Every structure is written in C-alpha cells, then in structure tokens.
Amino acid sequence: MRKALHNMNPSVKFLLITVCMFTMAFYFDPWTPLVFWGGVLVLQILFSQISWKKWLLFMLPFFVTAIGYFWTTLVFSEDQSGPVIWSLWNVNITEAQLNHAMSLSFRVLAFSSLSLMFALTTNPVTFVMSLMQQLKLSPKIAYGIMVGYQFLPVLKDEFVQIGQAHRLRGVGLEKNAIQRLLGMRSVLIPMLAGAVRKAERAAFAMEARGFTGERRSSYFQVISIGKVDFIIVALFLLVLVLSCTNKFWLG
C-alpha cells in the first residue's frame, strides 16, 4: 500500500483532488484547511513513496507564499472587527484579521500540497491515457499533449546546445540581467523554428501510421479503476468530512 497513490487511476485522483479543493474554497475559518492539510500529509506518508527532501524543496516557494499572504492580510486587512489582540508598530491586530490571515495561509498550503502530491505520484502519459479512457478526452488533444510532453527533454537539450554554440562564437556574454534577457531572443527564435519543424515531422509520422484522430475501441495501455482507487477515495473523503465538521467534534 506504500505505492497506492502512485498506482491510483490518474483520472480518479484528478477528480478527487478537484472535489477537495472546490470544497475547501467555501470554508473561511482557519482550522478547517489546517485539519485537512494535516490529514493529507498523513495519507501521503502512508500511501506514497515521495522523497521528503524533494517535497520540502518543491514546497518551499509555497511556504514563502503562505507567509506573505499571512503578513499582508494581517497588516492590510479591512476587516478589523472583534477584539484587538495586540498592536504591532501602531497597527492594531484584531481577532478577525488573524483568523482571515491564517485561513488564507492554510488554504495555500493545503491546495499546494494536493497539487504537488498529484504531480509527484502521477505519470503524465498514463494521465493522458486515462483522460481518454475514463473522461473521454478527444484523441487529437490527448496524443498532441503526449507528443508535446515527449519533446520537452529534446527542447531542453536543444536550448543548452544553442547557448553553448553562441558562447563559442562570443555571443551571449552580456554582463547585466537586462542584456541577458534581451539576448534570449537569439536563442528562442531558432528554438521556435526547430519546434515547428519537429511538430511537422511528428504530424507526418502520425499520419503515415494511420492516425486520423478517431476514437478507437482498443488502446496500447488500458487504464482501469480498481479496489485501491475506492479505498483512497474513501479515505480522502473521510478526511474531508472530518475537516469540514471539525467545529463539532472539537467543540
């Protein structure tokens, strides 16, 4: 079960995360997203093999964003109702401001953790195949996305090669950030031309192999919905219900 999230049907996982995010968007108290975030982290520990070093590295920008939301909402919020908790540099911090700031920060952490969990436990190609089979996505769109995804490493290598070729010719040795930004045009234009040529070759190759964009009855990879999917969905919905009713069971 340690890889249950990795083996879960991607479309079911996508719909589950969408429902959780949509539900959390309607709760404005600070404790509901906090309890939900804690539950998501527990399920992630139990049912995934995500490296926590990688997780912390990817979550770092979201932690910074949450702190920024907390600080700006705490200081600049217009809702100053309720008792004053403390004064900070001649700014009165009320209970309503604190609750609002905490609510925004915890929702950012909850949403970002869900999104990151989906990204780290889902294979993009499997996800697109699942969208075709379970959610009936058009094959033209689906295979176009897959081809584009497969070309990403190629474009990255091409970007490095063009940069190295320019440096060998003395191009792209600008000193400040503005000059480097303007110099990116000399790299992006040949990359755009190369991408157009690759897309044209891929289109010709798919057409030569009989791809017409029509939906077929069989797939090279069959994505099914199994028992693990129902277990994970039930656990996440349980955490969601407990989070949304925390005011009752916490008193």
pLDDT tens-digit series, residues 10-58? 999 999 999 999 999 888 888 899 999 999 999 999 999 998 899 999 9
- Kindly report the pTM of this predicted structure: 0.77
List, for residues 227-239, the tens digit of each pLDDT value: 999 999 999 999 9
Highest mean pLDDT among 51-60, 138-147, 158-167: 51-60
Contact 14, 118 (CB under 8 A): yes
Q: Grade residue 178 by pLDDT with cuts at 50, 70 and 90.
A: low
Domain positions in the chain are: 4-123+225-249, 139-208
* pLDDT score of 56: 92
Lowest mean per-residue pLDDT among 51-65, 77-91, 113-127, 189-203:
77-91
Q: What are the CA-CA distances from residue 118 to residues 18, 33, 46, 104, 111 (Å)?
A: 11, 18, 15, 21, 11
| CA distance linking residue 48 with residue 45, whole number of Å | 6
Q: Grade residue 222 by pLDDT with cuts at 50, 70 and 90.
A: confident
Residue 96 DSSP SS3: helix
